[in-house]
Amino acid sequence: MSNPTIGFIGYGNMAQAIAQGLVDAGALTGGDIVACAAHFDKLEANAAKLGIRPLRDASAVVQAADMVIIAIKPYQIESVMAPLASELAKPGKFIVSIAAGWTLSTYRTLFADRFASLRIQCTVPNTPMAVGKGVLVTEAEHTLEADQAETFERLFSAISLIERVDAPLMGVAGTIAGCGPAFTDMYLEALGDAGVKHGLQRAAAYRLAAKMIEGVGAMYMAAETHPGAMKDAVCSPGGTTIKGVASLEKHAFRGAVIDAIDAIVG
Ligand SMILES: NC(=O)C1=CN([C@@H]2O[C@H](COP(=O)(O)OP(=O)(O)OC[C@H]3O[C@@H](n4cnc5c(N)ncnc54)[C@H](O)[C@@H]3O)[C@@H](O)[C@H]2O)C=CC1
Ligand SMILES: O=C(O)[C@@H]1CCC=N1
């Protein structure tokens, strides 16, 4: 089967991470991808990196693509997408939304009478898709046809774990997977600063901290051992690690992380 054409409406940080991951994974070539963005010169430069085709506007993307990925900011969706409903309803076309806070129910309100003729899958991705290690939070309910759902699954499973959740849990799941990389980057940066403070070269400090974070995630995925048990296995009685754990507890490390999720989810 030939590759579908993927069209990004918006080609910013998240769209480029998805495109990079798909091309590097061999799931698609740059020639299978088209995109539009607010600034054509910048789009041309970004598109050239993977050999994708830059297009002038969202309407041109919808005309060219089989799978239309909505990758603009959530507040822009209404004005950009509503006028495109007729074109999106043409046979064979389907929508993958990656906008935080948008579910099938919000698209139902946006498209109103046209909704019934549209095929839509709502998701929240994350930037590690760029290196084939992403998470795609995916709303359990969708309106794709069977072959479209298969294409969606085939492409995104090449670069991510697909985690299906019901609509009411899209917010918290999308926050953990989608915003979590920024929090983890802060942790990585802090470990790097601490390493530099104590004499390590910065690049070495980041490298060993990054590999440590990757390894902890991989260990959990391998056996699903409780994180507390994995932590206990590192803390020798009277040893070094428990001193750091006690200090983090004094600074309410876990409470701070939970508060960060609360700040977003409400
Ligand atoms: N950055 C991330 O880690 C994640 C982002 N998302 C979602 O992805 C979407 C995009 O976010 P980012 O890539 O971070 O934003 P961004 O600001 O990096 O990219 C937005 C893109 O939209 C383009 N754009 C603006 N107005 C446009 C218009 N009228 N027509 C066509 N393109 C237009 C901009 O030129 C830019 O290419 C958002 O809905 C966000 O919620 C979801 C999960 C993670
Ligand atoms: O910060 C944002 O709005 C987007 C949504 C999830 C990650 N980045």
In tens, the pLDDT along 29-61 reads 999 999 999 999 999 999 999 999 999 999 999
Q: Is the dihedral of CA 232, 238, 244, 250 positive or negative?
A: positive
What gap in Å lies between CA 185 and CA 259, rounded to an integer? 17
Same-domain pairing of 136 and 12: yes
Gyration radius from the chain CA atoms: 21
Residues of the chain with pLDDT > 90: what percent? 99
Is this complex scored with an ipTM above 0.90?
A: yes
* Within a domain: 43: yes
Q: Which of 106, 138, 165 is a domain's end point?
A: 165
Give the ligand 2 atom nearest the CA of 124: 6
* Domains identified in the chain, total number: 2
Q: Average the pLDDT over 230-242 and give the result.
A: 98
Give the ligand 1 atom nearest the CA of 38: 35
Residues of the chain with pLDDT > 70: what percent? 100
Same-domain pairing of 178 and 205: yes
What gap in Å lies between CA 255 and CA 37, rounded to an integer? 39
Same-domain pairing of 95 and 22: yes
pLDDT of 2: 78
Same-domain pairing of 39 and 20: yes
What gap in Å lies between CA 119 and CA 20, rounded to an integer? 25
- Nearest CA residue ID for atom 36, ligand 1: 12
What gap in Å lies between CA 30 and CA 49, rounded to an integer? 9
Judge if pTM exceeds 0.95: yes
* Within a domain: 1: no
Using the mean position of ligand 2's atoms as its centre, give its distance from the Cα of residue 247 in Å: 30
Which bound ligand lies closest to the C-alpha atom of 171?
Answer: 2
Whole-angstrom CA distances from 225 to 164, 190, 219, 231, 254 are 22, 26, 8, 10, 18
Beta carbons of 145 and 94 less than 8 angstroms apart: yes
pLDDT of 1: 57
Which bound ligand lies closest to the C-alpha atom of 137?
Answer: 1
Same-domain pairing of 35 and 107: yes
- Nearest CA residue ID for atom 8, ligand 2: 179
Using the mean position of ligand 2's atoms as its centre, give its distance from the Cα of residue 198 in Å: 34
